[in-house]
Amino acid sequence: MSDVLSLIVAKYNYWLYVILMMIGLYGMIAKNNLVKKIVGMNIFQTAIILFYVSVGYKRDATIPILANAHDAHGATAIHAADYINPLTSCLMLTAIVVSVATFGYAMALAVRIYQRYQTLEEDELRMRLSEE
Amino acid sequence: MDNYPALIVVAPFIAALFAGLFVWIDERLSYPIALAGLAVSLFSGIQVMIQVIASGPIQYKLAGWAPPIGIEYRIDLLNAMVLILVAGVAFLNLIASYRSVQQEISDRTGSYFTVYNLFVTGLLGVSITGDLFNLYVLIEITSLTSYAQIALGDKDRGPLASLNYVFIGVIGASFYLLGVGYLYMYTGSLNMADVAVLIKGSEGSSTVLTAFILCILGIWIKMALFPMHVWLPNAYTYSPTAFSRVVAPLMTKVMVYVMIRLMVTVFGYDYIFNTLHLSDAVVWLATLAVLAGGVMALAQKNLKKMLTYIIVCEIGYMVGGAWMGNQLGMTGAILHILNDALMTFALFLAVGNMVYRIEKVDITDLKGLFGKMPWTMGGFVLAALSIIGVPPTCGFFSKWYLILGAMEKGAYHFVAALVISSLICAVLFFKVFEICFFESGSPDHENSHGPVAIEDAPVSMIIISGLVSLSLVVTGFYSGTIVNTIILPFLK
Amino acid sequence: METIISIKPLLAVLVTLFVVPVLISSSSKPNVRESWIFIAGIIKLVLILSMLPAVLAGKQIVLTLFEFVPGASIAFRVDGLGMLFAIVAASLYIVTSLYSIGYMRGLKEHGQTRFVSFFALAISATIGAAFSANLLTLYLFYEILSLATYPLVTHHQDEKSKISGRRYLTFILGTSIGLVLPAMIYCYHVTGTLEFSTAGIFTGELSKPEATVLLLMFVFGFAKAGIMPFHSWLPAAMVAPTPVSALLHAVAVVKVGVFSIVRVMTGVFGVDLLTTYNLGIMVMIIASVTILLGSCIAMSQDELKRRLAYSTISQLSYIVFGVALLTPQGLLGGVIHIVMHAFGKITLFFCAGAIYVTTHKKYISQMSGLGRKMPFTFAAFFIGALGVIGLPPTGGFYSKWNLILGTLEAQQTIFMLVLLVSSFLNAFYFLPIVYKGFFGKSEDQEENPPEKIKEANLCLIIPLMLTAVISIILFFYPTIFINLIKVGLGI
């Protein structure tokens, strides 16, 4: 039992992202309201961003802004261990852009659907569609 | 010129920017700009293909950064084929769809052409890139633009179909992104070739396994493999005709390409077939996909929707072939990427012509179409025969390889599925032909067999549709050449 | 064997295909259109005949178009067997074209351009099948032929032809995709080649059960041959205009089916393998059932074209039967029946069509006494019937004679009985028609005063007299075809 517990504690970032992801997925699948679904989708995407960023993190490390460079004798040598991995954060900048675009687009569609059907509840929409 | 690889992607992108700009200045100019962008892209694609055939794969470092740090374009024969296919189909469709766009979305033509070019840029990027994360971004560009285009379609159903597509698309892309994350955790690299080298020898690693499953699952969702296909029929049916003609042949096929790329270049045969032994299970899944796609197509009353279910069925062909675990099956799958794209393109071109004239394409609306639109129907018949797999159309030859591959593996259930789906397609299309052939369109001329006034689509649409349909036969005749110069050298 | 590379086989196939655009463009001028058909038909026949001397001298004319995979290309090879079939189909195409002018114009049919165009396409595919060098090419032309005949079968575009067309496609496409395609690919999977060769393509890879299943898939899969239980498309296809029934459903289409079976048995399996595994008997039993049942059903049909259709089903199985004997005499008798039956049966169909155009009568019971009004037609019918029954002085006698000799040679006396019984049945369902036609009482003299019914017009009479005469000539001079078969099968 303590093994599992320590596993969870040691890798809590993964568990966190998995939980977030499941919440998002639940929202997308189980919720009836389109806006709630869209929010679920956003949580889902955020979970992955969290995962990536946490992958790049190192204990006792700082942000990778280099104050000075190597000199010829390696006196002020830079140790990779001192800095967190910037690449994952960089990648996530792109992913955030994608998720924002998707989110905005989905909201715009929701507005469009509301204008057309005066509802955002999926079951009502389905009823309206089958009537037509 | 060494910059052709970049030009393939950049040309349509820049064209899209300018086309977008001209929406405010003079909307009529958007179209020629978009067309020029795609023409340059197609030309560069052909140049690259010539280079690759002559002197092997090309590595192109974007902005001069060397891999694995910089993003690399790596073009081998498979890429080059898909690139030409994408650029060619997009280019031809743009010519053919001008009139149809004017008719269907007359208030937003400029934006349509802009987004269209962005969509094609995304597809081209997906097919050319050698970087796993770059691939994700480009897949999302492709998806976002296609969401937008689909919402432009059917006023009532378009937005909802598009939103459902967004949800599933996001899940698929996110799975893939997650998989890439695990690969990055394990290897610290995002370059495909680099990753492939780094994961060699770590067959037992659960991280690699997780990465593999997530990546493949994500791509399967994106390519609408049964049972993850539910988004596809609605999305493709309710999009504007001009757009469904490009998204239907290309989107799923490019995703199949991505799957094959991941299988061949990143994870490697050995890992998939010898370590994981996934072949049997996936071939069974593909068998189900083929049968389910066919059976669901039988139940459709709308021609466009029926064709979308045939796409689901054809996806099963390619997945089955690729996971057969032998060279014949893989050859069949790759050949079918080309053939199926052309076949679907030809079918949707013909359907586009029909929509242009008769607006609704429920199967019962098609009465007397052989007399009314003989050229369009000619193209449609050829494409349909190719889907059924009648020689000498190209559909027959990829089916040939797929069946041979399945026989070599002993997967007779897949052989049976292919044969049954051919028969189902025959039933489907002859059902359509029957209505077009036997029932006259206007009820007042019920019994007069006099010549019906020919009212075919505009010439630009007919010519493209005819050309593509003829190309099915030509591709069929030269499939031996295609296999020998492109596919076999690629598979070594 | 000496081979000559020549483009002639391709030209012979394509000439009627190239004429299709011309036909469409001259659709408003029927006379111009028809003359183009004759030009194309004659060029085709000349091209085919120009290859005849070389083939008779034991050479083969080959042309490979597209090498698809090693061993399976799209290629032509003209050998004796293909030449025999091509001559029959191409010469009868010209005759039928003349006939169809009389028929289609006589009945003022609609869509004549469509009709002649698909007819030309169908004959192209037939010649292609005859000249195929391998199973893949044969399959290709087989499928094209199936599709090209669909608009011909459903020419009337009414409810009845729709149902018939459906049945036609279900049987023909269903079997070719469902049975032949997998069987063909399996052959390639096992041997890596599909080229026909007299020794067969299998070199001991095939066990007896496998060979049996494959052979059955081919025999039933080529459903154009009308082997029961996949025969019922043929009577259904009789809704087509008579020229279609005559050329396609007595000669081209059905014989492509039989020809394919012959090719598979002699060129893919090879006589030796079939003899070793003793598979001939199985096919003979299947064929015998069809022969007898076909004849029996034919007797019960009152509609003349349907009776002819069932007779065709029965006669086609003679050919399969002969080949399944696997002896030189049997092979000879079977294959030569392709020729003899073609000329006999097409005459009968021409007569049925001529009667229909002139009197609008389809049923045998209405034809009593008609022979006195239409003596030429009924005389030709009589000769055609003799040819199918196999009585001298018609070519049909020659094939039946060889078949019977073949059964003796193979020591299958019981199957000889099948042939004799069937011949008796043939006589039983054909000769009464002729007898009644000449000597029966006209039933409907009141409604149709005798002077109203006259002999059919010349466009109809000439072709049917011609084929009847050729039937008789073939009795005296069958040598050229015999030589072709001997060269083709190496017997």
| pLDDT tens digits for range B38-51 | 999 999 999 999 98
In contact, C416 and C408? CB cutoff 8 Å = yes
Peptide bond into C9 cis (omega under 30): no
Most B CBs within 10 A among A90, A98, A112, hence the mutation to make, goes to A98
pLDDT at B140: 92
Contact of A34 with chain B, judged by CB distance below 8 Å, is answered with yes
Which whole number is the average pLDDT over C8-36?
83
Which of the residue ranges B357-361, B444-448, C123-127, C378-382 has the most confident prediction, judged by mean pLDDT?
C123-127
Instruction: Round the average pLDDT of chain A to a whole number and report it.
Output: 84
Per DSSP, the three-state class of C107 is coil
pLDDT exceeds cutoff 90 at B336: yes
Contact of A63 with chain B, judged by CB distance below 8 Å, is answered with no
pLDDT exceeds cutoff 90 at C392: no
Among B203, B202, B210, which Cα is nearest to B179's?
B210
pLDDT exceeds cutoff 80 at C107: no
Within a domain: B5: no
Within a domain: B406: yes
Chains within contact range of chain A (3+ C-beta pairs < 8 Å): B
Sheet (strand C3-5) strand order: C3-5, C60-69, C72-78
* Greater model confidence, C199 or B327: B327
Q: List, in sequence order, the alpha helices (H) in B65-205.
A: 77-104, 109-128, 132-151, 158-187, 192-198
Using an 8 Å CB-CB cutoff, list chain B residues near C186: 407
CATH class in words for A2-59+74-131: mainly alpha
Using an 8 Å CB-CB cutoff, list chain C residues near B426: 169, 173-174, 177
Contact of B363 with chain C, judged by CB distance below 8 Å, is answered with no
pLDDT exceeds cutoff 90 at C455: no
Contact of A98 with chain B, judged by CB distance below 8 Å, is answered with yes
- Give the residue extent of every domain in chain A: 2-59+74-131
Q: What is the pLDDT of residues B341-398, one digit of tens each?
A: 999 999 999 988 888 888 788 888 888 788 788 888 889 999 999 999 888 889 899 9
Out of B372-381, B383-392, C129-138, C354-363, pick the least confident: C354-363
Q: Chain C residues within 8 A (CB-CB) of chain B?
A: 65-69, 73-74, 110-111, 136, 139-140, 143-144, 147, 151, 154, 157-158, 162, 165-166, 169, 173-174, 177-178, 181-182, 185-186, 188-189
pLDDT exceeds cutoff 80 at B453: no
Which whole number is the average pLDDT over A107-122?
89
Within a domain: B429: yes
Confidence band of B135 (pLDDT split at 50, 70, 90)? very high
Q: Chains C vs B: touching, with 3+ CB pairs under 8 Å?
A: yes
Using an 8 Å CB-CB cutoff, list chain C residues near B389: 177, 181
pLDDT at C167: 87
Contact of A129 with chain B, judged by CB distance below 8 Å, is answered with yes
pLDDT exceeds cutoff 70 at B442: no
Within a domain: B220: no
pLDDT exceeds cutoff 80 at A10: no
Instruction: Round the average pLDDT of chain B to a whole number and report it.
Output: 87
Within a domain: B148: no
Which whole number is the average pLDDT over C153-157?
82
pLDDT exceeds cutoff 70 at B231: yes
Contact C162 B434 (CB under 8 A): yes
pLDDT exceeds cutoff 80 at C216: yes
Q: List, in sequence order, the alpha helices (H) in C222-303.
A: 233-236, 242-243, 253-263, 271-277, 280-300
Confidence band of B440 (pLDDT split at 50, 70, 90)? low
pTM for the model stands at 0.90
CA distance linking residue B154 with residue B151, whole number of Å: 7
pLDDT exceeds cutoff 90 at C327: no
Q: What is the pLDDT of residues A86-101, one digit of tens each?
A: 888 888 998 999 999 9
Using an 8 Å CB-CB cutoff, list chain C residues near B478: 66
Peptide bond into C229 cis (omega under 30): yes
Tokens of B318: 């390619």
Q: How much of chain C exceeds pLDDT 90, in percent?
A: 4
pLDDT at B145: 92
Length of chain C: 491
Using an 8 Å CB-CB cutoff, list chain B residues near C165: 434
Contact of B288 with chain A, judged by CB distance below 8 Å, is answered with no
Nearest CA in chain C to B480: C68
CA distance linking residue C275 with residue C328, whole number of Å: 13
Confidence band of C154 (pLDDT split at 50, 70, 90)? confident
Q: Looking at the partner chain, which of B391, B404, B426 has a beta carbon nearest the beta carbon of C185?
A: B404
Within a domain: B424: yes
pLDDT at A74: 64
Nearest CA in chain B to A27: B167
Q: Looking at the partner chain, which of B419, B479, B480 has a beta carbon nearest the beta carbon of C177?
A: B419
pLDDT exceeds cutoff 60 at B446: no
pLDDT exceeds cutoff 70 at C452: no
CA distance linking residue B418 with residue B412, whole number of Å: 10
Q: Looking at the partner chain, which of B137, B156, B181 has a beta carbon nearest the beta carbon of A116?
A: B156
Distance from CA of A42 to the nearest CA of B (A): 9
Contact of B70 with chain C, judged by CB distance below 8 Å, is answered with no
Using an 8 Å CB-CB cutoff, list chain B residues near A129: 156-157, 160
Using an 8 Å CB-CB cutoff, list chain B residues near C181: 389, 403, 419, 422
Contact of A54 with chain B, judged by CB distance below 8 Å, is answered with no
Tokens of B213: 């499953």
pLDDT at A107: 93
Sequence-distant contacts of C50-56: CB under 8 A, at least 24 apart: C50/C8, C51/C6, C51/C8, C51/C9, C51/C12, C51/C78, C51/C83, C52/C83, C52/C87, C54/C4, C55/C79, C55/C80, C55/C83, C55/C484, C55/C487, C56/C80, C56/C480, C56/C483, C56/C484, C56/C487
- Please tell me what DSSP assigns to residue B444: G
Q: Chains A vs C: touching, with 3+ CB pairs under 8 Å?
A: no
CA distance linking residue C237 with residue C339, whole number of Å: 22
CA distance linking residue C280 with residue C257, whole number of Å: 18
Distance from CA of C438 to the nearest CA of B (A): 38
Using an 8 Å CB-CB cutoff, list chain B residues near C174: 423, 426
pLDDT at C487: 81
In contact, C298 and C429? CB cutoff 8 Å = yes
pLDDT at C448: 54
pLDDT exceeds cutoff 90 at A23: yes
* Greater model confidence, C455 or B380: B380
Characterize B333-366 residue by residue with b for buried, 16 or more Cβ atoms within 10 angstroms of its Cβ, and e for exposed: bbbbbbbbbbbbbbbbbbbbbbbbebeebebeeb
Which whole number is the average pLDDT over B248-256?
92
In contact, C168 and B460? CB cutoff 8 Å = no
pLDDT at B447: 45
Q: Looking at the partner chain, which of B404, B449, B483 has a beta carbon nearest the beta carbon of C188?
A: B404
- Report the domain count for chain B: 1
pLDDT exceeds cutoff 90 at C463: no
* Backbone φ/ψ region at C428: left (φ over 0), alpha (ψ -120 to 50), beta: alpha
Contact B391 C139 (CB under 8 A): yes
Contact of B151 with chain A, judged by CB distance below 8 Å, is answered with yes
pLDDT exceeds cutoff 50 at B443: no
Confidence band of A71 (pLDDT split at 50, 70, 90)? low
Contact C185 B397 (CB under 8 A): no
Q: Looking at the partner chain, which of B426, B438, B478 has a beta carbon nearest the beta carbon of C173?
A: B426
* Greater model confidence, A68 or C486: C486
Chain B with chain C: Cβ pairs closer than 8 A: 68
pLDDT at C111: 77
**Domain encompassing residue B320:** 278-492
Q: How much of chain B exceeds pLDDT 70, in percent?
A: 97
Residue B324, CB-side half-sphere exposure with 13 Å CA sphere: 31
pLDDT at B340: 93
Within a domain: B473: yes
Using an 8 Å CB-CB cutoff, list chain B residues near C185: 400, 403-404, 407
Q: List, in sequence order, the alpha helices (H) in B152-229.
A: 158-187, 192-198, 206-223
pLDDT exceeds cutoff 60 at B445: no
Which whole number is the average pLDDT over C96-103?
83
Q: How much of chain B exceeds pLDDT 90, in percent?
A: 38
Q: Residue window 175-204, chain B: list those with CB within 8 Å of chain A.
A: 177-178, 181, 184-185
Which whole number is the average pLDDT over C413-436?
85
Among B443, B439, B436, B406, which Cα is nearest to B421's?
B406
Contact C147 B478 (CB under 8 A): no
Most C CBs within 10 A among B393, B418, B430, hence the mutation to make, goes to B430
* Greater model confidence, C124 or C449: C124
Which whole number is the average pLDDT over C388-401?
84
Out of B294-303, C310-319, C431-440, pick the least confident: C431-440
Confidence band of C450 (pLDDT split at 50, 70, 90)? low
Within a domain: B262: no
Q: Chains B vs A: touching, with 3+ CB pairs under 8 Å?
A: yes
Nearest CA in chain A to B152: A109
Confidence band of C344 (pLDDT split at 50, 70, 90)? confident
Tokens of B270: 């050995």
* Greater model confidence, B406 or C483: B406
Using an 8 Å CB-CB cutoff, list chain B residues near A88: 181, 184
